[in-house]
Amino acid sequence: MQDKVKKYLFDIKQAIEEIESFIENKSFQDFTNGTLLQSAVERKLEIIGEALSRIKKIDEDILDNIADARRIIGFRNIIIHGYDVLDSKIIWDALQDNLPQLKKEIENLMED
pLDDT tens per residue across all 112 residues of the chain: 899 999 999 999 999 999 999 999 999 999 999 899 999 999 999 999 999 999 999 999 999 999 999 999 998 988 888 777 788 999 999 999 999 999 999 999 999 7
Geometric angle at alpha carbon 110, from 104 and 112, rounded to 5°: 110
The answer to whether residues 67 and 103 touch, using CB atoms and an 8 Å cutoff, is no
Contact criterion met (CB below 8 Å) for 47 and 9: no
Say which residues have a Cβ less than 8 Å from residue 79's Cβ, sequence separation at least 6: 42, 45, 46, 49, 86
CATH class, 3-111 region: mainly alpha
Domain boundaries, the chain: 3-111
Rounded-to-integer distance, Cα 110 and Cα 57, Å: 18
pTM beyond 0.85, yes or no:
yes
Q: Cβ contacts of residue 19 below 8 Å, gap of 6+? A: 41, 44, 45, 95, 99
Q: Please report which helix (H) or strand (E) contains residue 101, including its range.
A: helix 99-111
